[in-house]
Amino acid sequence: MLYVALDKDLPTSLLTQKMNSLGIEEWVYLGQDNDWIRGTESELASSIHRVSTIESLDRISWHLRQPYIEWIGQLSQHNQSVEWWGSALSAKNPYSRMYLRVCLLELAKQLISGGIKRRTLMVFSSPALRDGVISLASEASFSAEALSGRGSTGKWLSVPSALQDTFSALYRPSIRVLRGSRTLVSPPRDTPRPLRRNVLAKHGVRLPTRFIGDQTILFFTWVDKRSFRQDGRYQDPYFGPLPELLKERGYRVAFVARVLPSVSFEDAVARLARCGEEVVFPELLLSEQNWTECTRRAEEFSPVMPMNGAFEGLPIHQLVQEHLAETTGALADALSYQFLAANAAAAGIHPRRVIFTCEGHGWEQVMTWSVRRYMPDTKVVGYDNVTFSRQVLSMFPAQGEYGLRPLPDTIVTNGPLYRDLLTKEGMPSGMVTSGCALRHDHLWKGPLGNGAKRTVATVKGTPSQVLVATSVSPSDSVELVACAVGALGGDSRYKLIIKCHPVVDAKVIRSKLGALLQQGNVHFIDSPAQSILPSVDVLLYTYTVLCYEALAYGVPPVCVRTENSLDLDKLEAVPEVRWVARTPEELRRVVAEVLAMSAEMKQRWQDRASQVVSSALSPVTPEAVNAFLGDAA
């Protein structure tokens, strides 16, 4: 017997009662709410077995990876519009969870196909995923009973009517996925858009004049507290020394500054107005009418789906519909780049080159499409944002999309490692070139440049220092810290040092984990991770480029796999230099093994680690800078 439920519909206490009263023998969590699953597991303890999904999800995500890329490529053939290119569906944005839910649907299908012999509960965060599993259960002649928090259950012996409407449309040559109206949440939220223009006027901010000619370069960047030195000068956290190096060559440089909600907009404007840089604020180029138009187009967007729209035998139209509804705001934001480029061109901004951090997101594709339309003499250069993982699907177009998808003229990588990975995956060699690691130049001035070997060793009798570096995702960060504390918390042999990603609020992590962090050996730090890396013994990470910096400092990295998201390990291409753990018990064992390596084993590892990081993060040289100017082969 199969039962299904939504985590948000069932508080932990109520779910526990239902599971016990129904005699459920095992359960599977196919959702993304870390707070919910931790509370439920704590409540149930070991009374009801939870089926782990880590191994299965990892295997499935790699099996479906290329078919999914090609499926999106087929959709691109049918949807050659700026709205399509701006959508998270087209971009395959790894943070939007569409591909994750497809993989979870396949996982559920395999469990059902294997024959559910016990009374099993599947819990979801996505209603569309739940309904897809109900459909699969019906096809396999299983009775799927839906649990809810309203005191009632519903037995689904056939495909629900909502799905029947979707499936009946498959018999037509094509269908359009329709959604209800969504309200756009204006980004960012700290200062409303109309008030932002008042702030800009207050500080006398204007657009650069006559920004045109061969010696002009426009950077698209974000601004937060990392963007300013103590003396008030501007420092770009994404492009490092590149703007200054280009100025030294005689180029005129300006920045499209998008202020992140983590800082006060007015404070950022005041600082930028004083720093002496030429800055283009999007608020000066985008009217409320532009935003209204972006909102309307995003809400009306309905991509054409081919008749055989089901993917690998999975009923995913409900997932597509849900995904489009969830990402309407992101699409409206992406579409704003069309007006941004058009209005900038009308204001006399025609740079020779546009340079932006490249991760393959929808806004990048709209920006590229728009620059080519409104600034036809401008070259578009994407600087790889140290993604590395092949599961960041947004960086890998289908073969049929080259020449169709609005991709940069050139993608500059941080070194040959990722350049070779992209070309191996099918990217034309003329499109991608190896540049330099602009954000990691300090490594070549330190451990990589001087060739020094790691000499720091834990003093006998003192705890080994374990650095826990979270990703940009708050949810994954909670899961990582919980696993690390579960494995090593309270053990006097270790000192756990938690460093949150700059956009993750440590207070949020603390509040969610609560009493779990009340261990004497758990410490949070605010200082840059680079300041402590030289003295730590092990790095625990999920999705962060800090794993490469750890290699440079001779710190063994351990990738901690998350149960509720895809594996985005940046060291996946070079598995010999990192370790992997999936549970607190496994992590405890792996850390002990790493620290127990003999001097000979550690030296062999360190030699290979140095080779890997040198290939991944090349030094900043005049030749490397040429890659951004189109002068490098």
Distance CA 207, CA 456 (A): 51
Residue 99 has φ and ψ, to the nearest 5°, of -65, -40
Range with lowest mean pLDDT among 66-75, 333-342, 350-359, 473-482:
473-482
User: Rounded mean pLDDT of 117-142?
Assistant: 90
For residue 231 the two structure tokens come to 């003396």
User: Residues near 415 by Cβ (< 8 Å), separated by ≥ 6?
Assistant: 434, 435, 436, 437, 614, 615, 616, 617, 618
User: Rounded mean pLDDT of 508-523?
Assistant: 89
Q: Which class for 576: exposed (0-12), middle (13-18), buried (19 or more C-beta within 10 A)? A: exposed
pLDDT in tens, 582-633: 999 999 999 999 999 999 999 999 999 999 999 999 999 999 999 999 843 3
Residue predicted with more confidence, 41 or 269? 269
Element (H, E) at 464: strand 464-469
pLDDT in tens, 167-188: 233 222 223 333 333 333 334 3
User: Residues near 596 by Cβ (< 8 Å), separated by ≥ 6?
Assistant: none
**Residue 408, pLDDT score:** 97
Residue 558 has φ and ψ, to the nearest 5°, of -120, 120
pLDDT band of 458, cuts 50, 70, 90: low
Q: Which residue carries 């002496």 as its tokens?
A: 276
Pair 506, 498: CB distance under 8 Å: yes
- Residue ranges of E strands in 359-463: 379-384, 410-413, 432-434
Q: Please determine, for residue 386, whether its predicted confidence score (pLDDT) is greater than 70.
A: yes
The CA distances from residue 117 to 25, 42, 112, 583, in Å, are 10, 26, 10, 26
Sheet containing strand 350-358, strands side by side? 278-280, 252-259, 212-223, 350-358, 379-384, 410-413, 432-434
**Residue 143, pLDDT score:** 81
**Residue 118, pLDDT score:** 77
Distance CA 179, CA 164 (A): 16
Pair 435, 412: CB distance under 8 Å: yes
Q: Which residue carries 């702030």 as its tokens?
A: 199
Pair 324, 362: CB distance under 8 Å: no
| Sequence-ordered alpha helix ranges (H) in 489-567 | 506-513, 546-552
Amino acid found at 447: P
CATH class of domain segment(s) 464-616? alpha beta
Q: Please determine, for residue 536, whether its predicted confidence score (pLDDT) is greater than 60.
A: yes
Range with lowest mean pLDDT among 40-44, 95-99, 240-244, 553-557:
40-44
Could you give the angle at which helices 127-139 and 161-168 cross, rounded to 10 degrees?
A: 80
Distance CA 587, CA 539 (A): 12
**Residue 185, pLDDT score:** 37
Angle at CA of residue 301, ends 300 and 304, nearest 5°: 130
Distance CA 500, CA 585 (A): 23
Per-chain mean pLDDT for the chain: 88
- Residue ranges of E strands in 300-388: 304-306, 350-358, 379-384
Distance CA 383, CA 91 (A): 17
Distance CA 351, CA 33 (A): 44
Pair type for strands 538-541 and 557-560: parallel
Element (H, E) at 540: strand 538-541
**Residue 149, pLDDT score:** 65
Q: Please determine, for residue 34, whether its predicted confidence score (pLDDT) is greater than 50.
A: yes
Q: Domain boundaries in the chain?
A: 2-167, 208-284, 464-616
Per 3-state DSSP, the chain is made up of helix, strand and coil in percentages (nearest 5) of 45, 15, 35
Q: Please determine, for residue 457, whether its predicted confidence score (pLDDT) is greater than 90.
A: no
Distance CA 580, CA 164 (A): 43
What DSSP line would sit under 188-251, residue for residue?
A: -SSS-HHHHHHHHHHTT--PPSS-EEEEEEEEEEEESGGGB-TTS-B--TTTTTHHHHHHHTT-
Q: Please determine, for residue 305, whether its predicted confidence score (pLDDT) is greater than 90.
A: no
Element (H, E) at 391: none
